[in-house]
C-alpha cells in the first residue's frame, strides 16, 4: 500500500511540474476620486481580458469603486475605495465579483487610520471616513495606539453591514497634509 502511495505521489509531483502559469498582464482602469484605502480580492477564474472587462463592467455599474487594478497573473483585484464614502463591505465586494461570474476567495483591506483601546479589545478608526471597526489583534498593536498607521486586515466576520476586522500587518505612516 505504501509503495502504491509513493508511486502516486511521484506521479502527482511530476505532473504538477507542468501545471500552467497565469498570464503576466495587468489591466488598469480608474473611476472617481480614490481614497488611500484599498481592498484586495482574490478571485477564481480571473485569467483573461474578458474576465477583467466583465469585472470592470460590474464595478462601474455598482458605483462603489474608485479604481481597480486587475493582476491577472495572480488572480487578484486591487480596488481603490472612494474618498469620503463608507468602506464597501466584503459582502458587497463579493457580490459584485460573483455577479460578474467569478468566485471571490480571500479579501483583505489596507486602511489608514488609528487604533484605540476598547475594554479588552481594540477599535480601528478609518481616517478618511471616521468609521469605527472592532479589531482583533495581538498585543503588539498596543505600541501604535493613537498613531496613524496603515493597517492590513482581513474580515474576521460580518453581521449585516457591520464588519469585524482582524489585523494582519501594520506600519506607522506620516499622515498626508490636508490640501
Which residues contribute to the site for other proteins (CB under 8 A)?
Answer: 4, 7-8, 11-12, 14-15, 18-25, 27, 45, 47-50, 53-54, 57, 72, 101
Give least dist CB 133 to other proteins, A: 35
Question: Whose Cβ is closer to other proteins: residue 54's or residue 80's?
Answer: 54
50/159 with CB nearer other proteins: 50
**Nearest to other proteins of 48, 123 (CB atom):** 48
Nearest alpha-carbon partner for 34 in 97, 91, 78:
78
- Show Cβ contacts of residue 100 under 8 Å, excluding neighbours closer than 6 positions: 51, 54, 55, 57, 58
Provide the minimum distance between the beta carbon of 6 and other proteins in the complex, in angstroms, as a whole number. 11
Instruction: Give the whole-angstrom CA distance, residue 40 versus residue 111.
Output: 11
Which stretches within the chain are classed as H helix? 2-16, 49-62, 90-99
Q: Locate 69 and state its grid cell.
A: 487594478
Minimum gap (Å) between residue 51 Cβ and other proteins: 8
Nearest residue (CB) to other proteins, 16 versus 138: 16
Amino acid at each position: 500500500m505504501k509503495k502504491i502511495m509513493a508511486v502516486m505521489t511521484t506521479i502527482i509531483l511530476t505532473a504538477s511540474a507542468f501545471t500552467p502559469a497565469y498570464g503576466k498582464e495587468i489591466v488598469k482602469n480608474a473611476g472617481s476620486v480614490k481614497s488611500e484605502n484599498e481592498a484586495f480580492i482574490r478571485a477564481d477564474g480571473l485569467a483573461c481580458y474578458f474576465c477583467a472587462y466583465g469585472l470592470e463592467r460590474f464595478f462601474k455599474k455598482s458605483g462603489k469603486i474608485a479604481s481597480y487594478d486587475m493582476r491577472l497573473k495572480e488572480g487578484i483585484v486591487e480596488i481603490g475605495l472612494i474618498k469620503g464614502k463608507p468602506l464597501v463591505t466584503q459582502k458587497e465586494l463579493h457580490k459584485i465579483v460573483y455577479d460578474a461570474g467569478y468566485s471571490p476567495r480571500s479579501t483583505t483591506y489596507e486602511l489608514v487610520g488609528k487604533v484605540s483601546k476598547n475594554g479588552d479589545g481594540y477599535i480601528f478608526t478609518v481616517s478618511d471616513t471616521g468609521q469605527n471597526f472592532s479589531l482583533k489583534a495581538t498585543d503588539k498593536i498596543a505600541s501604535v495606539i493613537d498613531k496613524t498607521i496603515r493597517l492590513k486586515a482581513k474580515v474576521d466576520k460580518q453581521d449585516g453591514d457591520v464588519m469585524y476586522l482582524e489585523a494582519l500587518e501594520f506600519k506607522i505612516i506620516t499622515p498626508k497634509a490636508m490640501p
